[in-house]
Amino acid sequence: MAPRRRSIFLRTRRAPGLVLAGAALILGMNAARAAPPIVVGTTISETGPLAADALFQLRGEQLAIAKANAAGGWLGRRIVLKYYDDKSSPGTAVRLYQRLITEDKADLLLGPYSSLVTVAIAPLINKYKMATLEPGASVPTIYVPGNKWNIQTVASSTTYLHQLLPLARKDGAKTVALLGLQSAFTLACDQARTAQAKSLGLKIVYSTTYALPQPDFSSIALAIKNARPDVVLACTYYPDAVGITRALHEQGYAPRYLGETVGPVEPAFIAALGPLANRILSNTSWWPNFKTPGNRTFIADYRKKFAGMPDYHAAAGYSAVEVLGAAVKATHSLDQGTLRKWLLEHTVQTVQGPYKVDANGRAVGATQDMVQIQNGVLKLVSPPALAQAKVLVPYTGS
């Protein structure tokens, strides 16, 4: 009788190893299936009047998440950014955040772009107790006693262009005209600059707010011309910044200082106005020459992925993800209460500078600096330690 052949699995000495490898493979596959990605939910204004700036914020968030995934993710899990287009509409954003929280079951949230939209979703965030970093909401009225879950990561709108009036005062300016768009962030800025003007002893010779759409700013420009202020400071978004600048020129008035908040830092602003944009002052919470951790890498990665330079909105989105990642890694948790406690108590160094908030979630670490368009190029003119150029006066509109 021929000897019975042993099973191949018993014949080979490698059998135990094969069994172990197979078991490891099966266990690994099970582990991968059991570790779903961390879903970070947000809305962004891909369309609508806020889209021009919102797109930069989205890109910053996408870049930071890609970088985090390349480094292994958070808690050993991949991170997925799930976002919807809120169309620059507060109402739409509320419905979409409701969906992110209740249907999509997002693990973490990031706030939308703009104070206008964030003010609308803030109560929802508090209702569902989701620790949400707000990279696009500078209006301070969200972060007041009673707010527990909205956490600001950008400088408050009350600090926009805060260097302009003291600078002008020191230069001998005596009068100012203040303009503000009817929107949450711009009105907060307008109120802060009004209070600042009064505290500096500047006479407010003209002041108005306005709404969009406004096809023509001639009346406002004519009123400013007749008041002849040394400084015109407008709390704007992009289309009204363009409209006011043109109208002042068309009515034949050039103040010694012209400052506009959102608008001048967008490349399209200089393209739209040409020489009229020269010597306009504006603000930024981030600049390429900041010596903040990871700033050079952020710029290089952004240029490689998106072409063109990032702006401060992109830096805000990127920084928010940096802070969120720091919180998740430090607490080893996705528990909202745990994250919130950590976020309120800690400082994180980001590409746009230090993140730190007070007990109400209001940013106390972030700052706004000043830029000026000089010969078609934006230059950082404040703070002095980082300034690329001195402030040029007067504004000539040419």
Give least dist CB 180 to another protein, A.
9
User: In the complex with another protein, which residue's Cβ is closer, 47 or 102?
Assistant: 47
110 CA to centre of own chain: 11
Cβ-contact 114, 133 below 8 angstroms: no
Residues 2-41 that bind another protein (CB under 8 A): none
Cα–Cα distance for residue pair 76/230, rounded to 1 Å = 58
Let me know how long the chain is.
398
Does 94 help bind another protein (rule: CB under 8 A)? no
Give least dist CB 317 to another protein, A.
17
Chosen residue from 268, 309, 377, 386 binding another protein by CB under 8 A: 268
Q: Residue 282 corresponds to which tokens in the numbers above?
A: 């504006």
Cβ-contact 167, 356 below 8 angstroms: no
Give least dist CB 182 to another protein, A.
7
Residues 327-386 that bind another protein (CB under 8 A): none
Cα–Cα distance for residue pair 184/271, rounded to 1 Å = 27
Q: Which residue has the tokens 């096809």?
A: 215
Q: Residue 368 corresponds to which tokens in the numbers above?
A: 């706004």
Stretch that binds another protein, among 130-138, 147-155, 218-226, 344-352 (CB under 8 A): 218-226
SS (H, E, C) 18-82: HHHHHHHHHHHHHHHHHCCCEEEEEEECCCCCCHHHHHHHHHHHHHHHHHHHHCCCECCECEEEE
Q: C-alpha angle with apex 108: 105 to 113, nearest 5 degrees?
A: 110
Q: C-alpha angle with apex 286: 67 to 149, nearest 5 degrees?
A: 70
User: In the complex with another protein, which residue's Cβ is closer, 258 or 273?
Assistant: 273
Chosen residue from 149, 238, 257, 290 binding another protein by CB under 8 A: 238
Residues 100-119 that bind another protein (CB under 8 A): none
Cβ-contact 126, 149 below 8 angstroms: yes
Which residue from 281, 280, 261, 282 is spatially nearest to 398, judged by alpha carbons? 280
Chosen residue from 68, 122, 220, 235 binding another protein by CB under 8 A: 220
Does 222 help bind another protein (rule: CB under 8 A)? yes
User: In the complex with another protein, which residue's Cβ is closer, 102 or 208?
Assistant: 208
Chosen residue from 226, 289, 297, 347 binding another protein by CB under 8 A: 226
Cα–Cα distance for residue pair 190/202, rounded to 1 Å = 15
Does 274 help bind another protein (rule: CB under 8 A)? yes
Stretch that binds another protein, among 159-167, 250-258, 347-355, 368-376 (CB under 8 A): 250-258
Residues 45-74 that bind another protein (CB under 8 A): 46-49, 51-52, 55
E strand map for 261-382: 281-284, 348-350, 353-355, 369-374, 377-382
Chosen residue from 126, 214, 292, 331 binding another protein by CB under 8 A: 214
Chain residues binding another protein by CB under 8 A are 46-49, 51-52, 55, 87-88, 179, 182, 208-211, 213-220, 222-223, 226, 238-239, 242-243, 246, 249-252, 268, 271-274, 276
